[in-house]
Structures are given as C-alpha cells and as structure tokens.
Amino acid sequence: MKMFRSTLILLLLAVGGGLYIYFNERGAPVAQGAVVLLRAPRESVRVVKLSPANVELRRADESWQVQSGRKSAPADPDAVRELLDALELVQSQAPVENAANLEQYGLDKTAARIIVDGKSLHLGLSPRFDPSLIYARSGEQIALIPAALSALTRRPFEAWRARAVSGVPSQGGKTNVGVQNR
C-alpha cells in the first residue's frame, strides 16, 4: 500500500509541475521590470495588418496569404516567421512616464501601425539620443522598443509574397519554371 501511495504522490507532482509549466511558462519570458506592449503567441495569430505598406497577412490553415488592395498571393514562410518572432513578445525596459503629449513621440498621427488580431501597436519617432529605438504605444502605455519592428511595416507586398511559383525551389534558391538548361 505504501508503494501505491508513493507512486500516486509522484504522479500528482509530475502532473502539477507539467500544468504549471504549460499555463505559466509558455512563450517568450518577460524580462523583470519590463512592460509588455504586445503579446502574440505564434500559434494563435490569425491576421496581421501592417501600415503604411497596407499589407494584410492572413492564416489559411498551416500556410499564410498576403493581401494588398486587390492583390493576393501565398506568403513567404520565412518572412512570416520573422514577423511572428518579432510579435511574439514586444516588451520594453524603458516605459515613458506621464506621456501626455503624443506629438513629441510621433504618436499623435501614427505613421506606422501593426494590428494583430485586433490589438494595435502604434509606432512613432526615434528619440534623438538613439536612432536604433522608436516610441511605441499600445493602449495608454508608451515605451521605447527596437526600431527593427518599424521596418517590417514598410515592406511592400512583393517582399511578403512567396518566391517559388511551383513551390519547388531549384539550387541557389531560384525557381525554374518551364526553363530547361541545355
């Protein structure tokens, strides 16, 4: 009877530990003292809208489609992966306190915006002291984040679409479509 009770206790501890990890440790970890502007777990993201490029990426089962105006095409998986990696956790160690004047941060008339499943992240100006950062706003929270995220909002439709027409790239990454070398 003692062995059964010990085994049952160990099993309950293992299940409890697994549940704790599953519910509390998923996704990228938030740095201590950081503010989270956007959290978008890659497996749950369905739609990403990027402006000023006016590009929309939409999940279609396991693949992605890119749209811009009337143009639509399969999306480049590597480009989508890069975007989802960047959006999985947008956090900052440098929140802006008492940010009443949005104009000084370039957030009054937002030039760039990312909308992930309805959640908006507005991107503003770079501070004079560090051009590798930009001001970002999510809800009422304003903070400094890496400027690389802003570059993704300016990528045109062609940069998001899949390169291979047939889906089978040749050597060197170029796709041969109906051309034979003799």
Per the CB < 8 A criterion, the answer to whether 90 and 145 are in contact is yes
Model-level pTM greater than 0.75?
A: no
Q: How many other CB atoms sit within 10 Å of the CB of residue 157?
A: 17
pLDDT at 80: 94
Mean pLDDT, all residues of the chain: 82
pLDDT at 79: 94
Domain ranges of the chain: 34-164
Would the pLDDT of 157 be above 90?
A: yes
